[in-house]
A = this chain, B = another copy of it.
């Protein structure tokens, strides 16, 4: 399997200042695999749901090449449920409910058929669970990308540091980068974090774009200024899915290609914001993606000749 994604497959109830939706399909791995499915023909999903999760949606995922041998379906149990409320700026939100349900004792099992994996995306989960997936792979993947959040820095920092030491690319937001490094300057924070293990760091700044760092370079991708943001839930996971999906498709992990992958991820994330849940990712065409990427090119393209 070229690409494997680990993370939640879940239900979300979402409230924005403008609308409200109950129990839409959500979860990090849902957004990651659907976003990546626009770039790779097949991927493997490692996750867990209860038997309340609609088979119809799983069939839709199957039709997009998302293999579910690694998906555990727990009889008589309920899927992970998250409920949140966005503030007026849609950049910040409060969590109202977190029902772990099947996630409480999730023990990820990597199927035999997934063990030769080139690209591994560890979506936001308890660091110990992310680690258990790495440990089951007999051959280290070409590239391991890990997403996490401040919650794990607060409650499981030791586990988090262990798994961060084993990965290639870390994706976190600006506040989390500051917290993890205990540095306000993102440049200084990036330098510290790159010494913790990862060779690359992506700092996600929501509507303010994303920064990609390695030890010697920095690249900035803007977010597309949108007319309207309907629901940003899943935007970060969609970004990650587009990023790793593009890398897995092109089989090129140079810094130059990661820059392209960051633009692709940003473009995919902008679509997710346009509707509630992952709906936009399901209907998206290749032409729409190309057109959106071209908008990013136009947005940042300039030619300048400095004079002596």
Q: Which residues of A contact B (CB under 8 A)?
A: 88-89, 184-188, 205, 208-209, 211, 217-222, 225-229, 256, 259-260, 263-264, 286, 289-290, 293-294, 297-300, 302-304, 306-308
Contacts and interface: CB of A to CB of B under 8 A. Distances in A.
A87 to B, nearest CB: 11
- Copies of the polypeptide in the assembly: 2
Contacts of A184: 88-89
Nearest to A290: B306
A131 to B, nearest CB: 31
B211 A208 contact: no
Taking chain A's interface residues, is the majority helix, strand, or loop, or is none over half, making it mixed? mixed
Contacts of A286: 307-308
Contact of A225 (B211, B290, B298, B304): B211
Contact of A293 (B263, B298, B304): B304
A47 to B, nearest CB: 29
A299 B220 contact: yes
A185 B227 contact: yes
A209 B229 CA distance: 20
A109 B240 CA distance: 58
Contact of A304 (B89, B263, B302): B263
Given A209-B220, A260-B302, 18 more contacts: A89-B184, A185-B226, A185-B227, A187-B227, A208-B209, A217-B298, A218-B225, A218-B299, A219-B299, A219-B300, A219-B302, A220-B299, A259-B302, A263-B302, A286-B308, A294-B306, A300-B300, A300-B302
A208 B88 CA distance: 19
B302 A290 contact: no
A300 B220 contact: yes
A221 B209 CA distance: 11
12 contacts: A89-B184, A187-B225, A208-B209, A209-B209, A218-B299, A221-B302, A256-B302, A264-B304, A286-B307, A289-B306, A290-B306, A300-B302
A304 to B, nearest CB: 5
Contacts of A229: 185
A300 B296 CA distance: 11
B308 A297 contact: no
A198 to B, nearest CB: 17
